[in-house]
Amino acid sequence: MVKEKQPQVEGLEEYLNRFKREYGVIPEHHAMLGKYSPRVLKAYYDMRGAVMDDSPTGKLPKKIKELLAVAIMTVQGHSEGALHHAKAAVHAGASVEEVQEAVLICVLFCGLPTWAKSGMNAVKAAEKAKEDK
């Protein structure tokens, strides 16, 4: 059985371009999801925007949201995600030291492997983002 190509989803291309501008890359898992389930990816981006964007009704600034994402990705061992969110945290006003502290909280509660597996790379990405800023 040949599966038909997924229909274009209005606004998805705009989300992908925005994501690429903000994080510098479209992760492979986003691209693959968009290829086979574009409506699901669009729904994810809608939810993501509602949670992660600065908004008048939001209580946490973008910088804090990105630092939380660095910590979560670090604990999950998702080095690539930690790296991208570290860069975004710096672009949102976080210092390299703040990224480092977010990662150290993970190390405190989850052990030194979180530093070696993901945390160190997040701090390196923050350093690079600061240099590029």
pLDDT of residue 55: 78
Q: Which carries the bigger pLDDT value, residue 131 or residue 56?
A: 131
* Same domain membership, residue 113 and residue 76: yes
pLDDT of residue 118: 86
* Same domain membership, residue 63 and residue 37: no
pLDDT of residue 117: 83
Contacts of 54 (CB under 8 A, 6+ apart): 61, 62
- Comparing CA positions, the residue from 35, 31, 39, 23 lying closest to residue 73 is 23
Residue 66 lies in domain: 56-133
The radius of gyration of the chain from alpha carbons, rounded to an integer in Å, stands at 16
* Same domain membership, residue 75 and residue 42: no
Which amino acid makes up residue 50? A
Number of domains in the chain: 2
What are phi and psi for residue 82, nearest 5 degrees?
-60, -40
In a domain, 84, yes or no: yes
> Can you count the helices (H) and strands (E) in the chain?
8, 0
Q: What angle do CA 58, 60, 62 make, to 5 degrees?
A: 100
Q: Residue 4 — pLDDT band, cuts 50, 70, 90?
A: low
| CATH number for position 87 | 1.20.1290.10
Q: Using a cut of 0.95, tell me whether the model's pTM lies above it.
A: no
* Same domain membership, residue 45 and residue 68: no
- Comparing CA positions, the residue from 92, 66, 93, 80 lying closest to residue 124 is 80
pLDDT tens-digit readout, 7-46: 567 778 888 888 888 888 888 888 888 888 989 988 988 8
* Same domain membership, residue 117 and residue 66: yes
pLDDT tens-digit readout, 62-121: 999 999 999 999 999 999 999 999 999 999 999 999 999 999 999 999 998 888 888 898
Is there a contact between 15 and 45 (Cβ–Cβ < 8 Å)?
yes
Q: For residues 13 and 7, what is the distance between their CA atoms, to the nearest angstrom?
A: 12
End-to-end CA distance of the chain: 50
The stretch 116-131 carries a mean pLDDT of 91
